[in-house]
Amino acid sequence: MIQRVGVIGGGQLAWMMAFSAKRLGIDLIVQTPHANDPAVSVATEVILAPVADAQATSALAQKCDVITFENEFVDLEALFHLKKQGVRFAPSLEALEPLLDKYHQREFIASIGLPVPRFTALVEPTQPLDFTFPVVLKARRHGYDGQGTFIINSLDELSNTYNQLKSVPLLIEEFIPYTQELAVIAARSNTGEVVVYPVVETQQKNQVCHRVIIPAQVSLLIQSQIEDLSRHLLNELQAVGVFGIELFLTSDNKILVNEIAPRTHNSGHYTLDACNISQFEMQLRSVTDLPLGTTDLNCDGAVMVNLLGYEYADHDYAQKRHQLESIKNAHVHWYGKTESRPGRKLGHVTVLAHGNQANYSELLKIADTIESLWYS
């Protein structure tokens, strides 16, 4: 059994993975730039260095048997040199390569027969477009939590945003008037075993996820189609690890793939409490060649709400967290960050539901209660 796993990145995803590592008897060694990053306090060992520092990753490789990822901000070309020296990465660098640039990701998804919004690379704001406003403009690299994504309503707005972003490579695509935003976590092992978690609904504001409703209120056909496309995607990539897949459901019941994250994902945080095997344990199982196990829920339904910063402050919000913990069947996860700023993910709350409480309207009421306590 592989017992030493390296993680590039030391944020809350690696922090949550560390607790699963301890349960599995796995040493987690983290490469992260800041001594106050969440995973530093719980990792077996830490290398303080930028995520894209390949020399630090080489030192990380000396301490572990396999290296996995918490984010996509890596220097892939430099990592390929380490692979030639025998360093093992999971997912493989070949699986990451078509996904890190969002334009290349779109091309890859379309090339394997999965539906995506119409898209093109934006070279200049005056180029002819084959779709009408509004459109979606995205930075091709390094965008997350709504950063680098813009809803554009006019040619003037497109030109102004383009000029503000200066030399950032951009992707432009049609705006999809979806009825629901959906997501799913899927994992694949080195033997080709694929498991898929329940399909969930994500509710976003300003391109940032605020809530996740588990499971999504969709038909069995839609669930089956999403499971099938997840398996197809991971098999085409020959991926090893956990992947987060974001999707649109249109008014005519068509599914479009929005984005793919080659790692654990915010839409899967509910699995820590609502499933017997969380996405973080599943990531470790897949990269250490352990059997993947079940993705079943241990409840009838659940809601997960992100605790986002709403002010600039240095605060632990202990009183508010105590109020949240008093909600029946609530599980509060606080990432230990010392600095709050608007939009920053400071923690999340998952509430498990059983019986009648698990219906959609009741889950929305629970989410409203959490947000009213947190943002009051």
Residues annotated within a binding site for ATP: 102, 138, 173-176, 181, 258-259
Cα separation, 104 vs 100, whole angstroms? 8
Angle CA(246)–CA(7)–CA(76) in degrees, nearest 5?
70
Query: Which ranges in 238-299 belong to alpha helices (H)?
Result: 271-274, 279-287
Does residue 270 contact residue 350 with C-beta atoms inside 8 Å? yes
For every residue of 100-137, DSSP letters joined together read SSHHHHHHHHHHTT-----EEEES-TTS--SSPSSEEE
Q: With beta carbons less than 8 A apart as the criterion, state whether 196 and 295 touch.
A: yes
**Bridging pattern class, strands 66-69 and 4-8:** parallel
Cβ count near 116 (within 10 Å): 19
Tokens 């202990």 locate to: 318
Q: Give the containing element (helix H, strand E) for 68.
A: strand 66-69
Tokens of 28: 């987690």
Binding residues: 102, 138, 173-176, 181, 258-259
Q: How far is CA 77 from CA 31, 120, 171, 260, 326, in A?
A: 18, 25, 22, 20, 49
What is the Cα–Cα distance from 221 to 200, expressed in whole angstroms? 14
